[in-house]
Amino acid sequence: MTNDLFETTWEKVLNNIKENVGNSLYRVWFANLVPKVYNQGVLKIEVPSRFVKDWLEKKFNQLLLKSVKEFFPEVKHIELVVSNKPTLQIETKKSSFKRLTQTIIEKPLAIFDINPQTNLNPRYRFDNFVVGQSNELAFAACQGVAKNLGGSNNPLFLYGPVGVGKTHLLQAVGNEVLKNYKNLKIRYATTEEFTNQFINALKNHSIEEFRFKFRDIDVLILDDVHFLSGKTTSQEELFHTFNYLYNLSKQIVFSSDRPPRLIPDIEERLKSRFEGGLVIDIQPPDYETRLAILKVKAQEKNIVLDDKIYELIAKKITRNIRELEGALSAVIFYYSKNGKLSLEKVEEIIKKFSKDYYRKITPRKIIKVITDHYEIKEEDIFKKTRTKHLVEIRQCLIYLLREISQLSYTSIGQLLKKDHTTIIYAYEKVAKKLKNNSEFSQGIEILKSKILES
């Protein structure tokens, strides 16, 4: 059997397979197969990855052999071998795997030039993360993981309250690996994205493509795994994805707003996987760290303020880094418009970011402002009606109750007579939309201003 014969006949083999399995399965599993060596009845076929090899051997080995034998009757056995080239550099006549990769990886909304292959934001790096007593262990653990993938710190599980730098550290791991190991495949996603894509895959009968996306990788980074609470089917899928990657010594990194044992409605077997490696918490930053963060962020904006201004903000804003940055941005905005800034004015600007100021805002006041703003009746908020308009208003209310009144998910659920998993979903949906939609973000800021000024 000559190489010329391979080249002229192999397309017929692939077309035959396509007729048997359909375009979707063909595109995922077969389009990139390349015959390499024939010797004494054995045909070696190159596949792009270990994941593809395992799947074909498990699901389609007999179909593949039958299709090959139809055009190459002298072949008695086939052997799948994994290419030693980076996946995206495998060359075929039509670069089919490159097209496949572009098709199955859903390109996220453009924020800070997010890498479409990894979903990583390049602005999150180790070198611009401010380290202090509250996060030094988490920082060291993340650096260790990036240097020793699949080692003793696998999986790594970070937990802590909102706005303490979990997402920054998780993505820094991915970006560091990307910088040092060009050929490794990395996938960062929020757990909401994982869940939504899984549900869509079930609906569209494209579960193989979904699994290919989250299993044919070297590093999986999942943010906010508490979002899995109550989602039984998604938990099962993640459990099997975890096992597949872990058994191949692939690195897995998780984050959550609480330790694994305190995440409600999560299967015990999945909790045990979360706890199987290194579990580390991140606390809100201490005063010295807050001060350092303010100076670093101001430098990034090419602004230099008086040290007393930084000190005042660091003393007043204590809850999390996001509020710290928000207060600094408000001060800088005022300074850019007026050219001068007194400590009295700084204190006036940042008081709306302080914990004590927020405590004065009652849930009843927030509900009143929102119902007035949207011109609806207060009882509409508590109805079971699921019109799109009312659902979106309730989601905004949940977000503002959490952000301003600092109510727990459980407390908000009791107030609105909703399950706490519904509350978590609503909050995180709004939080995500704020990052991607500037018009929506402005609307929320208007609501915040009305609430804080009422």
pLDDT at 301: 77
* Nearest-angstrom CA–CA distance, 435 and 373: 23
Quote the DSSP letter at residue 28. Answer: I
Q: For the domain made up of 287-357, give the CATH fold.
A: Helicase, Ruva Protein; domain 3 (1.10.8)
Per the model's pLDDT, the better-predicted residue between 219 and 293 turns out to be 219
**What whole-number distance in Å separates Cα of residue 431 and Cα of residue 429?**
5
Nearest to 87 by CA among 104, 106, 112, 69: 104
Cα–Cα distances (Å) from 242 to 48, 51, 360, in that order, read 21, 13, 44
Question: pLDDT digit string (tens) for 11-60?
Answer: 888 888 888 777 666 776 788 888 888 888 888 899 887 877 887 887 78
> At 219, is the secondary structure helix, strand, or coil?
strand
Q: Which CATH class is domain 126-281?
A: alpha beta
Task: Collapse the DSSP code of 49 into the 3-class scheme (helix H, G, I; strand E, B; otherwise coil) and give the result.
Answer: coil
Residue 211 has pLDDT above 80, yes or no: yes
361-453 has which CATH code? 1.10.1750.10
The Cβ of residue 390 has, within 10 Å, a number of other Cβ atoms equal to 16
Domain coordinates in residue numbering, the chain: 3-99, 126-281, 287-357, 361-453
Q: Enter the tokens of residue 180.
A: 């040092």
Q: pLDDT tens across 356-367, in order?
A: 555 567 888 899
HEC profile of 158-211: EECCCCCCHHHHHHHHHHHHHHHCCCCCEEEEEHHHHHHHHHHHHHCCCHHHHH
pLDDT of 430 strictly over 80? yes
Per DSSP, the three-state class of 1 is: coil
Look at residue 339 in the predicted model and tell me its pLDDT. Answer: 75
Is this prediction's pTM over 0.75?
A: no
Is 70 exceeded by the pLDDT of residue 133? yes
Which residue blocks in 3-110 are alpha helix, DSSP H? Answer: 3-21, 23-25, 50-55, 61-71, 96-104
Q: What is the CATH number of domain 3-99?
A: 3.30.300.180
pLDDT of 189 reads 93
Q: What is the mean pLDDT of residues 112-123?
A: 81
Q: Which strands make up the sheet holding 34-39, listed edge to edge?
A: 34-39, 42-47, 77-82
E strands, 275-325, where?
278-281
Question: In whole angstroms, what is the distance from residue 51 CA to residue 32 CA?
Answer: 13
pLDDT surpasses 90 at 355:
no
Q: What is the rounded distance in angstroms from the CA atom of residue 158 to the CA atom of residue 154?
A: 12
**pLDDT bracket for residue 91 (50, 70, 90):** very low
Mean pLDDT over each residue of the chain, to the nearest integer: 82
Same topology for domains 3-99 and 287-357, yes or no?
A: no
For residue 6, what pLDDT is reported? Answer: 60
